[in-house]
Amino acid sequence: MKTGNNLDAFCERVKARKSLVGVIGLGYVGLPLLLRFAEESFRVMGFDSDPAKLGSLKQGRSYIKHLPSSRIQAVKQNLILTTERKRLAEPDALLVCLPTPLTAYREPDLSYLKQAAEAISSCLRPGQLVSLESTTYPGTTREIFLARFQSTGLVVGHDYYLVYSPEREDPGNPEHSVQNIPKLVGGITTSCTRAGVCLYGSAIKTVLPVSSPEIAESSKLLENIYRAVNIALVNELKLLFSRMGINIWEVIAAARTKPFGFQAFYPGPGLGGHCLPIDPFYLTWKARQYDFHTSFIELAGEINSSMPYYVVEKTLYGLNMMGKAMRNARILLVGLAYKKDVDDIRESPAFKIWKILREHGARVDYFDPYVPRVLRTRQFDRPVFSIKFSCRNLRRYDAAIIVTNHTCVDYHFLRRQVPLVIDTRNVFDRRYRNVILA
């Protein structure tokens, strides 16, 4: 099968910045990608079902805290923004950056990907590249996208190109961005991979081809499972060392002085974000189809999922020591985002802690400078708002739980106003009478 002429034409358009790049889903993965290509002088078409997001972008305003509005304003002239999926035929490349959540039974919810694959299939044309970036189980690119595209009569690797290229976003990390994080690309065919490398290489410093979409899909899962398992290890050690009266944070600091064979991971109140609490279960689900039980991964998931209960137990212990019952106690969650210095609340352990506290009869509020309000979600049937961080407000609470260690928060001011502080992030450099390490 001859593919050279088609591939050469695709790459020539990319190199000349004549290609229109489409990004489907403008969230924490899609928006940085859209800006990166626009900054490289590509015209970029952004697709999203949320008109509010598109409205913000058209006005040059960012809705993601760590992405400054100035970046959007600098490339506005290169952006085309739409909710209309009938325009999917226009871009030369379509980068799919949609959510892949779990169901209530911890099974993959691929509804967003299936809808996107159907929509693209209805208007797929010769010369297009389709790249899936969403984290998922090995085989998704073939099973969900290739299977639907075959009905078009177009030949993959000849008429169009299909690749998997996993996102590697780390929101709020100033050292690593889309531009300098190495990008994996695995295509259905060799020409697919070459087309993907050509496109991503025009905007990203290092692009690494792998032999198949399944290799790229599995690599992404390995990256996240590696972190989830090691975090579970230190979380379990935190529980043990707490009983033994040993400070886990000092243990880790001592261990990391070894220049080889050890990488530091840190305990916390549970896992958050769209990756670590979810991605390992995509592999455990797929493994069951091969009559294989991923005991190690599932055990790590159980340990990490149990950490909010440990935080609540520590809070209950602290209140008891004060002669205060949990029922009707006023408790402040400090930090709602899943990690420091970002506004991303996806799968944050704060929500599970909040739920458990309310089940114990506590009255709960939150403070987070990055999350001034939370609209209706599966956690809340009405909007909730961050309190004002003031002496008068803080003194109303019986206890405060530091869930997220934002750099801009004055934790010593917090400690002086609230009688009990539960520190899940080792914020304080030494122990204080009213601080419990959790």
Catalytic positions are 275
How far lies 280's CA from each of 37, 42, 62, in Å? 30, 35, 31
Within a 13 Å sphere around the CA of 8, how many CA atoms are in the beta-carbon half? 4
Q: Is 363 exposed, middle or buried (CB count within 10 Å of its CB: 0-12, 13-18, 19+)?
A: middle
Q: Which residue has the tokens 């996107």?
A: 116
Task: List all residues 6 or more positions away from 419 whose beta carbon is below 8 Å from its beta carbon.
Answer: 322, 398, 399, 434
Radius of gyration of the chain (CA): 24
Contact 180/150 with Cβ under 8 angstroms?
no
Q: Which residues contact 374 (CB under 8 A, 6 or more apart)?
A: 336, 345, 380, 383, 384, 385
Give me 286's structure tokens. 């797929």
* C-alpha span between 124 and 170 (Å, rounded): 31
Q: Which residues contact 281 (CB under 8 A, 6 or more apart)?
A: 102, 106, 107, 108, 301
Are the beta carbons of 360 and 312 closer than 8 angstroms? yes
